Chains A and B, each alone.
Chain A
Amino acid sequence: MTATLIWILVAVVAIGVYLSWTAGRLDRLHVRMDAARAALDAQLLRRASVAQELATSGVLDPAASIVLYEAAHAARQAEEEQREVAESELSQALRAVFEDPAQVEAVREAPGGEEAAHELAEAVRRVPMARRFHNDAVGAARRLREHRKVRWFRLAGHAPFPLAFEMDDEPPAALVERAA
């Protein structure tokens, strides 16, 4: 009788430890996801700022300036639900403006342009990186959260279900092509 009780007790403790470990794992994933999201936000903001700066610098022709300014402004001001669309449109605008390698050269030749072009190239390279890391974290968190033990014991608490950030982040080829 006591033996059975002891065994039940041991089993309950073991299950408890396992669940606590899983909760710890989940918590760590949420922390990682939040950090990745913050990094993605920072990179997106940086890209929009550099684009806006370039648009107002007078280096580009007026039509290109307006297109780029519009898109960068919209991306910075977008509400959370509109964000993915607005950022995708900024990617498209950047590709349209810097499609021609000659345009990139023209920016580089302007005073202070070398720096601006470098900054923009850095920004458009880092956005896809940060997004990939973010979605990787989201994927890992989702896989764990969909597990039975997490759902049955509500280990995730009130944390919102993680969502991937989907957008078009293809950088303008002429800007990142450094092989030449």
Chain B
Amino acid sequence: MRIGIVCPYSWDVPGGVQFHIRDLAEYFLRLGHDVSVLAPADDDTPLPPYVVSAGRAVPVPYNGSVARLNFGFLSAARVRRWLHEGAFDVVHIHEPTSPSLGLLTCWAASGPIVATFHTSNPRSRAMIAAYAILQAALEKISARIAVSEYARRTLVEHLGGDAVVIPNGVDVDFFASAEPKAEWQGDTIGFIGRIDEPRKGLPVLMKALPTILAARPRTRLLVAGRGDEEAAVEDLPKELRARVEFLGMISDEDKARLLRSVDLYVAPNTGGESFGIILVEAMSAGAPVLASDLDAFVQVLDQGAAGEVFANEDADALADAAVRLLADPARRTELRDRGSAHVRRFDWSTVGADILSVYETVTAGAAAVAADERTTGLRARFGLARD
């Protein structure tokens, strides 16, 4: 099958959506499909052979933060050329509501289009204003995928229609077979995520840390992620700062080893999560998980059966649960076992097969993807468009 995948965010910036697309593309390539990924990228970035650059993304303030997006005449032309040269059986767009390549492709293509909705943003004012334009582009999508039941609910409420739920994939065995590292073992708590992004919840964990250390003084907190390390420990009493180790940005291999080594993985995120891939990775590596009770997290943790949850932003609840778990090896073993069994459904072999089923369902009885000539403008409307 000839598959075209559209990535809305810069390929050179690491992010959940980009990793998801990379893994998905590589999974399909291994199965022998033809895959081409269209992504924004700087001209000098080395790209894997299956990625086609759509040009440099422009940083624009959008939706409360600065997003790097592609739009405008030149990007639209590149999208059309990619569609024309690819002659795809199916095009898979990610995040079609962000004003970037996804939306442009929706606009420019006809034929079987599959779209995955990753985020579950509350309805933004821009989206309400652009609703009529969005609707005309989005109604070309033949199959919608939401990454969680929570994401599906927001999608149905905001845009109408329906979607199937297919979770994000993880290479479970990669994490399950990683080698633990001795220096990261023994009364350790793990945290992975941007240090200076409050939504990732490190401040909540820092607030809970004195209580945890009072009960279990030997505990160490291992923090992996970019950000200002000085500022992160600012509110911590000086004598406790030594109990926090910053590992900086770590490779995928080290991430797996870290998750294999820690006694407890804590995800204190305060919001903005629609899935929680890190929890799946932690469970794959057999780390007992303690997470805030965000809708998406509770769902990934099988309603709390595969990992424990605490009230969001409640540092005391986090400290209580962490102390209790660290003192209870039997309970941690139980969580490890339940987690390892539960994550099988997030393995690429399952997730990839489901996505392929979606492709096969929409391509059955439909023509291949082509550039949509009706949208080229007035000339096309009066039959003047060139072939």
Which residues in A have some Cβ–Cβ distance to B below 8 Å? 17, 20-21, 24-25, 28-29, 32, 35-36, 38-39, 42-43, 122, 125-126, 128-130, 132-133, 135-137, 139-140, 143-144, 178-180
Contacts and interface: CB of A to CB of B under 8 A. Distances in A.
B366 interface: yes
Contacts of A133: 142-144, 164, 361-362
Of the four ranges (under 10, 10 to 19, 20 to 34, 35 or more), the interface on chain B belongs to 20 to 34
Contacts of A129: 143, 164, 357-358, 361
B243 interface: no
Contacts of A39: 361-362, 364-366
B162 A136 contact: yes
B53 interface: no
Contact of A35 (B144, B342, B354, B366): B366
Given A35-B365, A39-B364, A137 B381 contact: no
A173 to B, nearest CB: 13
Contact of A139 (B140, B160, B342, B364): B160
B350 interface: yes
Contact of A42 (B144, B164, B345, B365): B365
Contacts of B136: 25
B378 interface: yes
Contacts of A35: 112, 142, 362, 365-366
B344 interface: yes
B299 to A, nearest CB: 15
A161 B350 CA distance: 38
B112 to A, nearest CB: 8
A20 B344 CA distance: 50
Nearest to B365: A38
B163 interface: yes
B235 interface: no
A136 B139 CA distance: 9
Contact of B161 (A25, A28, A43, A139): A139
A139 B159 CA distance: 11
Interface string B244-268: 0000000000000000000000000
B142 A137 contact: yes
Interface in B338-360: 341-342, 344-345, 350, 354, 357-358, 360
Given A178-B344, A179-B341, A143 B160 contact: yes
Nearest to A130: B361
Contacts of A29: 139
B153 to A, nearest CB: 14
B138 to A, nearest CB: 8
Contacts of A43: 361, 364
A112 B380 CA distance: 55
Contact of B357 (A28, A122, A143): A122
A140 B140 CA distance: 10
Contacts of B361: 39, 43, 126, 129-130, 133
A13 to B, nearest CB: 10
B374 interface: yes
B357 A126 contact: yes
Nearest to B144: A136
A179 B344 contact: yes
B274 interface: no
Interface string B160-185: 11111000000000000000000000
Nearest to A128: B164
A38 B361 CA distance: 10
Nearest to A29: B139
B143 A24 contact: no
A152 B108 CA distance: 29
Given A21-B381, A125-B357, A38 B144 contact: no
B100 interface: no
11 contacts: A32-B140, A35-B112, A35-B142, A39-B365, A125-B357, A129-B358, A129-B361, A133-B361, A136-B144, A136-B161, A179-B345
